């Protein structure tokens, strides 16, 4: 079935649909990863966004439940060059088309994704409409032009858990090339961590367990005093969607926790922590989305290839003298990590838990446990 993608600035792309049918809107961003499409589709950080994959062939290895980052898709729509007609992998449990259809997610293929990506790079990420119903592209473009951006919108409340829960699952292990199984915690739990769910990815939880943590996940609005009453060894601030400055209740809670307990923030958690320490955030032109972002550790001068997914960044000029910038992005010099000079607090903008990879930054979970040991 014919599908139309209309951007807010009037640019039109026509293709064919897969997945669900209908009409949807969201902010268009591009992801440069070559693999990992099912992790991207189920990443809560993409809530409110339409994701363009720059790699041309998508869907060739199907989908499987073990690799989902949450229980369902969260993006608004999925935009690709070509959907594979074959889903061939020994772990595959279904096709990408059927998965998106089941969950009501619209996909569009057959468009020039290189042209679309270049347009976003030049003009910036923007709101858009995809429709399989309305055939007039000018009407769709007019609709897109009236949509509001992600700035000022609290999307965390759309993806956070409703009730606290414990997470005990460690990392996946390959069993002689035949199957995957859930491992027991690889080491005895030495620490108790409370993780704020701003849109948390499952592999973050697995990595925390792998590092020796017993993890309790709590809703994003959980009061800081309630967290401290649980007597954890540390607090983890997760990834998530939208504008960090709009999640004011999280900012207030983190401000209360700073200086009282070790804190580790990732992605949106990094931004919220930076705001709590007095910094400002701003919206990037087209964000960082993909598995090949170079980041330099300013202490060691070691370059890490990282996975990233964010549309906002921390303003380095707004950071107080109590904070040190630990990592920066080699593409645009944006802030990728900070550490407080007095309190046991660190955060990074990228994803050290990335699945399927890269894994250059896994050492950061050890740095967090070292903070926990020092605080003990």
Query: Which residues, in sequence order, are bridge partners of residue 326?
Result: none
CA of 210: how far to CAs of 151, 168, 190, 233, 369, in Å? Answer: 35, 10, 11, 16, 11
Considering Cα of 170, then 171, then 175, then 180, what sign does the dihedral take? positive
Question: Whole-angstrom Cα distance, residue 68 to residue 206?
Answer: 12
Residue 267 annotated among the catalytic residues of the structure: yes
Residue 353 annotated among the catalytic residues of the structure: yes
Residue 351 annotated among the catalytic residues of the structure: yes
Kindly give, in sequence order, each residue whose CB lies less than 8 Å from that of residue 159, ignoring residues fewer than 6 positions away: 44, 47, 70, 74, 198, 199, 240, 241
Question: Whole-angstrom Cα distance, residue 180 to residue 185?
Answer: 15
Kindly give, in sequence order, each residue whose CB lies less than 8 Å from that of residue 61, ignoring residues fewer than 6 positions away: 87, 88, 89, 91, 92
Catalytic residue among 27, 97, 119, 267: 267
Question: Whole-angstrom Cα distance, residue 13 to residue 4?
Answer: 6
Helix axes 363-375, 202-210, angle to 10 degrees: 60
Kindly give, in sequence order, each residue whose CB lies less than 8 Å from that of residue 146, ignoring residues fewer than 6 positions away: none
Kindly give, in sequence order, each residue whose CB lies less than 8 Å from that of residue 252, ignoring residues fewer than 6 positions away: 224
Catalytic residue among 27, 69, 304, 353: 353
Catalytic residue list:
267, 351, 353
């Amino acid at each position: 079935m014919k599908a139309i993608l209309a951007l807010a600035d009037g640019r039109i792309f026509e293709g064919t649909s897969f997945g669900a049918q209908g009409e949807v809107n969201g902010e268009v961003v591009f992801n440069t990863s070559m693999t990992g499409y099912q992790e991207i589709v189920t990443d809560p950080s993409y809530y409110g966004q339409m994701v363009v994959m720059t790699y041309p062939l998508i869907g060739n290895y199907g989908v499987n439940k073990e690799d989902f980052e949450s229980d369902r898709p969260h993006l608004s729509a999925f935009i690709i060059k070509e959907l594979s007609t074959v889903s061939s992998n020994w772990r595959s449990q279904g096709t990408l088309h059927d998965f998106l259809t089941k969950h009501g997610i619209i996909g569009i293929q057959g468009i020039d994704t290189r042209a679309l990506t270049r347009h976003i790079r030049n003009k910036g990420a923007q709101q858009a409409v995809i429709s399989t119903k309305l055939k007039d592209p000018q009407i769709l473009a007019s609709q897109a032009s009236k949509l509001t951006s992600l700035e000022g919108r609290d999307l965390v409340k759309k993806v956070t858990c409703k009730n606290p829960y414990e997470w005990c699952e460690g990392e996946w292990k390959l069993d002689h090339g035949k199957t995957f199984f859930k491992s027991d915690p690889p080491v005895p739990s030495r620490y108790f961590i409370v993780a704020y769910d701003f849109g948390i990815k499952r592999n973050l939880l697995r990595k925390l367990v792998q590092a020796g943590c017993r993890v309790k996940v709590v809703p994003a609005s959980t009061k800081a005093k309630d967290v401290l009453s649980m007597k954890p060894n540390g607090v983890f601030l997760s990834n998530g969607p939208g504008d960090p400055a709009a999640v004011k209740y999280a900012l207030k809670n983190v401000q209360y926790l700073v200086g009282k307990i070790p804190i580790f923030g990732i992605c949106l958690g990094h931004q919220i922590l930076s705001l709590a320490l007095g910094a400002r955030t701003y919206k990037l032109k087209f964000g960082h989305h993909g598995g090949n972002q170079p980041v330099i550790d300013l202490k060691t001068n070691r370059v890490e290839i990282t996975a990233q997914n964010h549309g906002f960044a921390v303003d380095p000029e707004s950071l107080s003298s109590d904070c040190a910038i630990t990592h920066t992005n080699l593409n645009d010099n944006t802030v990728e990590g900070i550490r407080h000079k007095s309190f046991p607090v660190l955060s990074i903008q990228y994803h050290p838990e990335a699945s399927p990879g890269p894994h250059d930054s896994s050492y950061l979970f050890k740095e967090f446990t070292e903070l926990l040991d020092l605080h003990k």
